[in-house]
Amino acid sequence: MRSFVSAAAVILGLLLAAVALPAIWVDRNIVQEDGFVSLAAPLGKDAVFQQRLASAAVGSIDPEGQIPEPLANLVQPILDSAATSLTTMPGYPAAWEETLRKSHRLNFAAAGEATPEDTPSTSLTLDVAPLVGLLTQQISEATNVPLEAPDQTLINIGQPSQRQLADQASAYAPIGYALAAGSGTALLLALIAARRRWTVLVGTGAGALVLAAVWKLGSDAAALAVGGAASGDEVADLFKSEFIAASSDRFGQWILATVIAGAVLIVAGVTLRVAAGAGRPQGSR
């Protein structure tokens, strides 16, 4: 009976862990704003993405009607220069971070926390308004004409169906912590109930290796599914592909940690088995 309870507890613990770890990763790295910014911030340093993003931000500026006709000819050279110098401006890092934060609030706004300008959209959206504001400020300084920067400059980076997935992730990802607690409790129960505790360690370690393989296959399949739908916008597609690559890389670190933990448990179980066997009197074998 004890062996059955122990085996059932190990299986339950592994099943709960199979869902818990990916859910916790999604919550910490995508649903939570700081995690999202940390994950996506390096994209702003990618040379190709920088160029496309700067061009998109420049192309969204419409100074017509705000600049006197005699100064209108001065604007285009400034815009052309800004397209190549945006990422070297002192305010660019802060503007890029604010772009990510505003975009996160649009896509993962919690009820009651969103401001009017951060009202959630119907599709995954990137709001580059802080970058446009940086460019607008440069034009104002060059022309001595006050220009009003837009509150929002939106670039769609996903379809409505993908936005629905984001909503579901925001709602269900935090459950991963409770599932992780249940997994830990089940595995602890398995260890307490087991007649041979080394079998629990080996079984849990082997299960962890299997879960790591499943997570890897699932991560690759999800990356292909999300990245396969082109939006038709170069900036959006580039952001999406780079974000998927960054996500796969960071989740891969968690998978590697699981592989290491599984290997350690197997070694510990085998070591315990050998030590227990060596400690028995020869007559009792």
* pLDDT mean over 245-274: 95
- Judged on CB neighbours under 10 Å (0-12, 13-18, 19+), 25 is buried
175 or 230, higher pLDDT: 175
Q: What is the pLDDT of residues 89-136, one digit of tens each?
A: 888 889 889 999 998 988 886 544 444 455 555 667 888 888 888 888
Which sign, positive or negative, has the C-alpha torsion 203, 205, 211, 217?
A: negative
* pLDDT mean over 2-17: 93
Q: How far apart are CA 49 and CA 17, in angstroms?
A: 36
Which sign, positive or negative, has the C-alpha torsion 233, 171, 118, 39?
A: negative
pTM: 0.82
Q: Under a CB-based contact definition with an 8 Å cutoff, are residues 9 and 183 in contact?
A: no
Q: Would you state the pLDDT for residue 263?
A: 97
Q: What is the pLDDT of residues 157-206, one digit of tens each?
A: 766 766 777 888 888 899 999 999 999 999 999 999 988 889 999 999 99
Q: Under a CB-based contact definition with an 8 Å cutoff, are residues 167 and 135 in contact?
A: no
What are the residues facing 253 on neighbouring strands? none
Q: What is the pLDDT of residues 44-99, one digit of tens each?
A: 777 777 777 777 777 776 655 556 666 666 666 777 776 677 778 888 889 889 99
